Structure 1
Amino acid sequence: MSPSNSVSLEEEKEKGFVHDSNVDVVALPEADPDTVIVNRWGYFGPVLERLFASGVEARGVERVPEDQRSNKNQWNNKDSWVQGFIERSEDSSSVNCVLTTIPIGVLAQEYYTLTLPHAIATIMCFGALGALCVAFISTLGPKTGLRTMIITRYSSGYIGGTIYSVLNVLTQLGFSVTAVILGGQTLASINPGTLPLVVGIIIIAICSLVPCFIGYEMVHIYERYAWIVMVLVMLFLWGLGGRAGFDMDIQKPLEATGRSLSGDVLSFGGIIFGSFTGWAPVAADYNCRLPANTSSIKVFFLTFFGLFIPICFVEILGAALMTISDPAYAEVIASGDTGALLSQVVSPWKGGGKFVLVLLAFSVVANNIPNTYSAGISVQALGRPFAMVPRFLWVFLAFVAYTVAGVAGREHFSAILSNFLSILSYWTAFFIVIVAEEHFIFRRKNGPLGGYNLDDYDTPSRLPLGCAGVLAGCFGVAGAVVWYTGPLGMDAGADGYGADLGFELAAAFSAFMFPPLRWLEIRLTGR
């Protein structure tokens, strides 16, 4: 809160503010979003009222006030670490222990010719870094009751928050495109020639739409149970792949050495970092209904391990499948078709293997649900005119967009995945740095702003101008471009290809520039 807007705790209480000393925030109670939306839409109000009564979520980007949060606060119980870990792992395993995570590990050999030991080390190291970033963002949900893209307004202003929202909409649509393509490919590979790839993509997209159209509670219910089947399926794939014969050294003759090897590790590491930090722009979305005094330490560690374990488990599986030495696998491995590779892996089970492929194909639904849900939320975060449109309508439009894009790009899956995850790591890197520096430097309890005035989340005149955040982001973009045009990326690798240092340089440039720019902005504007 700006010093100029400071009021005493007694005055805050008299005016109806809710203050929690554990989170250093002040906010007014908010009206029930169901009633607000129904009244706003006049003639269509009764239709919306029936939808909301049937279970469709009304709340969009509006803050969840403390009196409307979940009453369950089991994570603050000293004996609840195991229970909290199980619950977070259920959601995270359902989202990440899926078909779409496997091809990320496949890229280690398909694009970078890394041996399995080097692929595993890269996945675990860069994955841990990415999981740390997502875990931090997730702690802001209970503290603020806000969605992630709305939280960015406190560091980058209304305009900066809008820019991040645009980037996040593209991110979630990008994840969704890769999910429906891969799911469709797998369905089409079960009985080649019987199901067109386009039809497979549409089937997967429709199945992804229903839970996120309904909303937050349905998303959690689905994710709570979907993981059980998929963990078993992944264990089946590990077993069948091992039976076919993993060869730890099969890539050794092809692997680069020296600076070329470091370039491959850094470039593949950027893809791994992006596969983790892709969840950062939505991490607070799924914690904003937890009580405000929920332990940040527990949220942090439960999120970290809930991401790190399932994603590494499945990405390493993808890398391992590319090392199978059986000659029958040579053609599908060379083709880079993950659906065909998985079809070959389960082929010894004949009809049972086809059933496993069906489960794998539909596993992407669990991954696509949060992408679609948060895409709708991020569209609302673009500004008030967008926020006035009910969330479920934006969800439907997102579904249409990524289905059409999936059909159009269905023949270029590997290229789309590799380029998308690399670019994703660039903007999420500087986004995380800027939000973290705002939180720990300027919004700390005894810092220049002393906390978050949460009643200001939709009032541009009381939010930062955003000049510091936007400029720091631009410097981050300049840092990422160094990979393409500057000497650092080329010097980190060899053979004329260099190394992808995009996310490292984006984070470094933004981290260096944001504090002085933000300090100057506060001195000049007081906010």
Structure 2
Amino acid sequence: MAPESSEYKDAIEHEKGELSDKGSASLEDHLTGSAYIAEAEPSKAIVARFGVLGPFLAKLFDLGVEARGVERIPENMRDETHFWNNIFMWWSVNTVLTTISIGVLAQPLFGLSLPVAAATILCFGALATCLVSFIATLGPKTGLRTMIIARFSSGYVGGAIYSILNIITELGFSVLCVVLGGQALVAVNPGTLPLAAGIVIVGVLSLVPCFIGYDMIHKSERYAWIPLIIVMFCLWGLGAKQGFDVAGARERQSTGRALSADVLSFGGIIFGSFSGWSPVAADYNCRMPSNISPWKIFGMTFIGLYIPICLVEILGAALASIPDTAYIEAYTDGGTGGLVAQVLKPWNGGGKFLLVILALSNLMNNIINTYSAGLSIQALGRPFAMVPRFFWTLVCFAAYTVAGVVGREHFSEILTNFLAILAYWTGWFAIIVFEEHFIFRRKGGRLGGYNFDDWDTPSKLPLGIAGILAGCFGVAGAVVGMAEVWYIGPLGKMAGGMFGTDLGFELAAAFAATTYPPLRWLEIHFTGR
């Protein structure tokens, strides 16, 4: 049940009086089943909770700022209005400059030819998208945000741990978004705008929709993909005119175990770029009715993620393969923003206009990161949930903008290390939630389903021992299999390659998948939950 407020208590007393007049003999059942005021009308609960600030908060809510945070959405407050919005939202979120920057890494960092890079993106992307699409199906089923759903497998404490990891994840993505967007703005007219200023501009512009909330996000994202996809096709055309180097790159590519090491390491980054959406996938369809087909949600999410990310990441790999010295120097001096500016240069003023659109495209991605980061802070526990979501949105904005300004000269290092590590935990997180759902919560399983009213009652949720221990085994798998600049695990080193082979996410997921079922069986056996 949501944290109580004075307004909540007043509403309960009011219901007691009404039920008493009616001679109800099931007062407790009625109140428990209602669950009630804070979930059905969170704006009123928040206004009552903050006393002298109440009128100001009420004005914000009247203007359209979303009051609802991590509270479960009652079934009678859901509909299918946002179904098509969700597909287009994912298209808008991923048809952005940040996605290009991930594909760009294939050749300069891993020495992969365009055909090999494309195959790696398609294969690792499909695997990760399946996991994200599964998580998305739990939104309508539960009416809960993703980090709250994690409590049903890993308990209240385990859910808080995942929330911390997701806060770091979303803020990390936000840093990448604002830095890359800033790079692109700087490249429009080099020498006229400092990179730090460009970063602040992107951060501020992305704040407004996620400050307002769920409805504004869906509305702003529904059509944004249309101009963005047009710009991406323009880049494809201009890059192809310049000439993608397919044969030459293949000749310089490694062979044997060295090639497999490069493919697996790049594949880990690709997996992370897709699976990074798994900790937030249910956040954006939890207002859909529970009777909507899970396959419909799965397909919607798969299409919305897989097609645009593959299209744009392969574009990045293609642009990085252009052998012209001017393009290589543009990337070296200005990163992905500089490379894209060079591709658009033949169109002069028109190219600069498209570059501005690309710089602002990162807003679409950053909106999602900031909104879900605020929800994840609320999911840390009741004291955090009692603070309105929009306040945590402001905190996140300040954190990633400052981090972006400080780390703006190290974009490539941040990108490669962040995405690889991201793949480690999102892989085992999705696997644990998957096994809980299909092994223990299935009809006929040990628990036979969910009691969604328990979402904020620690005494009725799992202790979380199994989920936390399985996560620890996932960490162990990542450590022995990882291959980063700053550390190479023993198995990562044995797998070959000049810098080892990054097997971190594969081993993390495998270790967690193997250990969670027996640990969870024991937990249920001894605790019954």
After TM superposition, the score normalised by the length of structure 1 is 0.92
Name 2:465's counterpart in structure 1.
467
| Match for residue 350 of structure 2 among 352, 357, 368 | 352
| Match for residue 266 of structure 2 among 265, 268, 293 | 268
Mapped partners of 2:211, 2:233: distance in 1: 31
Tell me how far 1:12 sits from its aligned partner.
11
| Match for residue 33 of structure 1 among 12, 27, 42 | 42
Mapped partners of 1:330, 1:252: distance in 2: 18
Name 1:142's counterpart in structure 2.
140
Which sections of structure 2, spanning at least 5 residues, go unmatched?
1-24, 483-487
Which sections of structure 1, spanning at least 5 residues, go unmatched?
1-10, 19-25, 76-83
Name 1:446's counterpart in structure 2.
444
Q: 1:153 to 1:326 in 2, by over 3 A?
A: same
| Match for residue 251 of structure 2 among 253, 258, 262 | 253
Q: Structure 2 matches for 1:125-204, cutoff 5 A?
A: 125-204=123-202
Mapped partners of 1:214, 1:202: distance in 2: 19
Matched to 1:141, the amino acid is: G
Mapped partners of 1:357, 1:93: distance in 2: 19
Residue 66 (str. 1) matches residue 75 (str. 2):
yes
Q: 1:72 to 1:102 in 2, by over 3 A?
A: closer
Residue 503 (str. 1) matches residue 498 (str. 2):
no
Tell me how far 1:327 sits from its aligned partner.
3.9
Specify the SS of the correspondent of 1:250.
helix
Supply the RMSD in Å over aligned alpha carbons: 1.8
Matched to 1:508, the amino acid is: A
Tell me how far 1:93 sits from its aligned partner.
1.2
Tell me how far 1:27 sits from its aligned partner.
7.9
Q: 1:336 to 1:513 in 2, by over 3 A?
A: farther
Tell me how far 1:490 sits from its aligned partner.
2.0
On the 8 A contact 2:40/2:74 being kept in 1, the answer is: no
| Match for residue 424 of structure 1 among 422, 435, 451 | 422
Tell me how far 1:13 sits from its aligned partner.
12
Q: 1:300 to 1:27 in 2, by over 3 A?
A: farther
Cα shift readout 1:152-192 (whole Å, capped 9, x = no counterpart): 00000000000000000000000000000000011011111
Matched to 2:79, the amino acid is: S
Mapped partners of 1:190, 1:400: distance in 2: 25
Tell me how far 1:28 sits from its aligned partner.
4.2
Q: 1:71 to 1:234 in 2, by over 3 A?
A: closer
Cα shift readout 1:115-155 (whole Å, capped 9, x = no counterpart): 00000000000000010010000000000000000000000
Cα shift readout 1:253-292 (whole Å, capped 9, x = no counterpart): 3211100100000000000000001100000000100011
Matched to 2:497, the amino acid is: A
Mapped partners of 2:112, 2:247: distance in 1: 10
Specify the SS of the correspondent of 1:342.
helix
On the 8 A contact 1:244/1:325 being kept in 2, the answer is: no
After TM superposition, the score normalised by the length of structure 2 is 0.91
Mapped partners of 2:230, 2:81: distance in 1: 30
Name 2:338's counterpart in structure 1.
340
On the 8 A contact 1:262/1:492 being kept in 2, the answer is: no
Mapped partners of 1:27, 1:189: distance in 2: 56
Specify the SS of the correspondent of 1:256.
coil
Name 1:48's counterpart in structure 2.
57
On the 8 A contact 1:27/1:455 being kept in 2, the answer is: no
Q: 1:71 to 1:325 in 2, by over 3 A?
A: closer
Name 2:16's counterpart in structure 1.
none
Mapped partners of 2:284, 2:359: distance in 1: 25
Mapped partners of 1:27, 1:476: distance in 2: 39
Q: 1:450 to 1:188 in 2, by over 3 A?
A: same
Matched to 1:46, the amino acid is: P
On the 8 A contact 1:250/1:323 being kept in 2, the answer is: no
Tell me how far 1:42 sits from its aligned partner.
1.3
Name 1:491's counterpart in structure 2.
494
On the 8 A contact 2:245/2:321 being kept in 1, the answer is: yes
Tell me how far 1:326 sits from its aligned partner.
3.2
Q: 1:420 to 1:182 in 2, by over 3 A?
A: same
Specify the SS of the correspondent of 2:193.
coil
| Match for residue 209 of structure 1 among 195, 199, 207 | 207
Total equivalences in the alignment: 498
On the 8 A contact 1:261/1:493 being kept in 2, the answer is: no
Q: Structure 2 matches for 1:212-251, cutoff 5 A?
A: 212-251=210-249
On the 8 A contact 2:187/2:334 being kept in 1, the answer is: no
On the 8 A contact 1:27/1:454 being kept in 2, the answer is: no
Matched to 1:498, the amino acid is: G
Name 1:521's counterpart in structure 2.
523
Tell me how far 1:302 sits from its aligned partner.
1.3
| Match for residue 92 of structure 2 among 88, 91, 94 | 94
| Match for residue 396 of structure 1 among 391, 394, 405 | 394
Mapped partners of 1:51, 1:14: distance in 2: 34
Residue 412 (str. 1) matches residue 410 (str. 2):
yes
Matched to 2:380, the amino acid is: L
| Match for residue 109 of structure 1 among 107, 110, 118 | 107
Tell me how far 1:438 sits from its aligned partner.
0.5
